[in-house]
Structure 1
């Protein structure tokens, strides 16, 4: 029996399969160094890019599974902690930028106006003084009283900024000396703080000015705060001692193991850097200096348990293995997440401290938000207020040289 063959089918090139949406490239998979299609695209993408080294470290941390595969719980936790660390670092950098921008603007725009105002105030006080002498003629008693009040106010403001000549001028024409005024203000403040100040605090009771009293009160508060902190630490130490005497619970053992894993991961990365950056590996003096600088930064990052900084230094030292963290076990992923969680907690404390420092430096109320737009408006308002005050003082200085003009100016400022 003869076998009959089927006729051959013509060859057709297979059509490409539709792309699997699970494997679509995400923004984090795009190469940060790739050239954009045109200048418009570059303008839109560039502000959002990290540095090449930081982007590579981020990609290595985020690529926990194969492309498109669902992330494990450990990898998801790592991504959350990574985002939190980066967000807190960005907030710290933004706060520093906004605060320094305001201080720089104040120095450039307000400080010259303040100096002009100081010189005008000093000139006006000196111009008013001759009109208050016993043999001076030309002013009524009411006008002399206004001139005396204005002179003493100007001289006091300048004396409080350290102008000793103005302090002497004030005491010459004022019914109360500056020391008497300061003591009266300190007594009034001491009365308001009587329920809070310690009665046996000699420095607070002897303070002769509000600044001295506030300084004594601040030291008293710091001493009380330190004593309370010491008591809390002593109680905590007792609790820890009692806890150590008991047999550790399974949860405590797991926590201890997690801490050990986190520390081991950090130490391993640090030791790799220390080995690779040894000065004996340098080929020339320039390379030795570069490696020394990197090692100094690695020591600082290890001291503050900054995992991302160590990864960045590893990339700078050209040691990075982009797939290293992808191969980590769930236990190691949890250890890395713990390091990032500790770093985020430290950054959160730092952010709160920086918030308070900038509120004090910028003379803002407690709880205020450090906002660039708000500080910009504040700078403009301060500039306008200084200009108004400067124009008023300069107008008085122009008219203080002759009786008719001075009388008119004093009458306008009698209230």
Structure 2
């Protein structure tokens, strides 16, 4: 019996991995333009980090984490998201003391959640995300949103919709929380067990419940927008002002509730409206998390960020029939005719690679016709053919595969010829 990969994981094979590399390259270049620096955190952290940082009422902590005990009986968890680990690192390494503030970071790597695998969703998936920590100005919120939108646009996506909402500050959230409790409490026994548990601790999460989303009380639940204090309303209006100045279209959705406990003030999602993308349209989600640094033992350091799934990004590209420019160019394929010629081809191939040319040679001892077919499949720009006569003359036949033109090129001039052509 052959061993298969675990359910909810995937092998990313040659021919597909190039798309991932291209996306990662574009994302890295964009972050550099925005002055975001890369950070790499561990694949696993102490479980307490996610219980405190993500929230013990969230589906992630309650149902989806891969948690285990190590040999020292410490509880560890494979990271289910990126923000908690980044803020933990920010606090641990005292980045709040750096001269340049806010601290602007980006990450890219695998995350792990035990959930039902479906199109574009895996148990091991790759998230790209950014975090800006140290500023509570709405202009940095607009910057983070603009970076996310710009990434999708640079990759060619057009069927995008940006939805924003304000979750308010602590004072607004407390007032809204009390209103939600009073609204749901008389009939909370009609809701699922998760909602019943969340009622007192985090009733806002009830609005995000997928099981009870059609319950009549959902439609009449108090809107957070009605409980925003003057400061929160002004903050949200300023964010909208900045987005308008940038020319970024958006919709305000008062029902938008992010699934993690640490969010406040700005919350946003970017969705794909492409036909055939699927029922789950969200590509990217993010928001502001003032207070998370303090929750993890650090100083006051307001932050905002987003995370997006590379898998879902690839699905959106496919839905819009966008082909990424990822074809790897092969400069030259070397063909050897005979053992002595092969000795020289081994040398010439190595020399071409040393000079940063993309070069390949046959290692299966095939006939010349089969070797040239291989060069054609690899879309080689040139084929360099070496036989006994050319070997004696100290030259090699170089054929342009597009034009059919060929000429003899001395060994010592081959690299320059391939580079200049």
TM range (shorter): under 0.3
The structure where helix makes up a greater share of residues is 1
Q: TM-score, normalised by structure 1?
A: 0.24
**Structure possessing the higher radius of gyration over alpha carbons:** 1
